[in-house]
Chains A and B, each alone.
Chain A
């Protein structure tokens, strides 16, 4: 299972970085979504997959005994998902605004520097 998830994480990262290099802003946003998911999956996988071992202290014991599923990485992932979601919503607003301004989602159409230097 770890191997499968590791390959998935690698694939998601590759796809995400590929999208970042495209000229379409929507695809750049999608690339960032993929990178975010890849990271979450990475944190999930790297901290060990445990199935059926809830992190509950058994009756009559003082501490957890391994193996148990660590809840902390899942809390990290939850926080990261929320942050990522908020920022992506903001990015989409920007993309929408840019599309209104230029009529296309091509990053080259947004460029203002070239116009400046021709003056």
Chain B
């Protein structure tokens, strides 16, 4: 298979399967198996893409044969390919978890096609080579997420979706303004072409102004301080499978887009953007973790932790050194798995206790020993305790901050790590350790077993974390190579524009 076919396959697979899924009879099994098969193929395509890019350098494809910068360009560097692979794996996890947890009436509906559209939009955003298409793919992804969030139409979901939708649409407006302004100033939106044109425009202040539009738009999508309000307002309402999908993919697209535009296009005022990103990152870490301390709803607590972990990513981007970008990529991968594991476990505990309220839980350690272990490992990993993946990822961020002599970020990262541990221990104490609340009639529950299908995905995520922790070296090596590509845009430009200077 030619590399260029590989580049378009993720989107073709997902959107094609979504369309086919809607045509199949409205039963649970055909849609479920179609989604499962698509996610397996997507993971395989992602892995092949990663191997190809690792071996042969950055790959690009001009859709319809229109030469860049006039046509639509798809590009895969190591970061994009790695993220497509992770997206495939997460899609597979979420679909198999949905098959185990959702009622079959829901499975028979538009649920799987919507998941496929969302995953297709995410892959498109990772692989696109121009900014307008980035906007379109983000809209595709958001459109699917709006419907997934409101699918059950309970009142709290309606409230959440209206908040989420109006804030997201506002973000899209800002993004579209940014795209329009940039086109007006530079006359192109192809990322590689922009990397060549923007430094020669002679209007660095105008570019800085435009870059601030992009910063606001992508920071809103990423859930960074002070634009994160939509996230804790909405992530606790849909079924656990949907929350997992959102937390694994949606905010990461924002972070990816920030990393892409601020390493490739807007490098003219690195001092200002780097300071802004560092301040934003630091405040995001702190507000996220402090917000979590006050929560007693398991998923709301975990949602606030999404924000605080996004802070690490943005701070690492702000440092903009090679070791910081390496840390960013390693952290991104670790964090997608850790957070998903926690949300999946929260769904499993809710299945046993029928609530997400920590006050009403208890004693799960005794009744659900396996589930307790599956919570304990990702919780420690998220907090950054060795030997799990979180330790190396967090260590890499802190080392990068120390190397850049940014003591404030390094200190904040350490303190926020401790507070994360504190709030993970709060869940552990409340849900698993303490005696069950007295007023709660305790029906004897049978321990969940692998046969229920709920624990399988949790186990897979936990296994990734242990593997990435014990064998962190290959991941860090790959992240280092990807960071090298981000910091040297020449290869990216050459891959897209060919021989053109």
Residues of A that sit less than 8 Å from B by CB: 20, 25, 28, 32, 35-36, 38-39, 42-43, 46-48, 72-73, 76, 79-80, 83, 86-87, 90-91, 94-95, 97-98, 101-102, 107, 110-112
Contact = CB atoms under 8 A, between A and B. Distances in A.
Contact of A112 (B146, B150, B156, B177): B156
Contacts of A86: 143
B183 A72 contact: yes
A36 B159 contact: no
Contacts of A97: 150, 153, 158
B173 A35 contact: yes
A1 B143 CA distance: 36
Interface in B171-200: 173, 176-177, 179-181, 183-184
B136 A83 contact: yes
Contact of B179 (A28, A32, A76): A76
8 contacts: A25-B162, A28-B166, A35-B170, A76-B176, A76-B180, A76-B183, A87-B143, A87-B146
B472 interface: no
Given A32-B170, A91-B169, A111 B180 contact: no
Given A97-B153, A111-B159, A73 B143 contact: no
A94 B165 contact: yes
Interface residues of B, number: 27
Given A32-B170, A107-B162, A83 B139 contact: yes
A42 B162 contact: no
A70 B146 CA distance: 34
B158 A101 contact: yes
Contacts of A83: 136, 139, 143
A95 B162 contact: yes
B158 A98 contact: yes
B136 A47 contact: no
A35 B177 CA distance: 10
B170 A20 contact: yes
A112 B159 contact: yes
A36 B180 contact: no
A73 B136 CA distance: 14
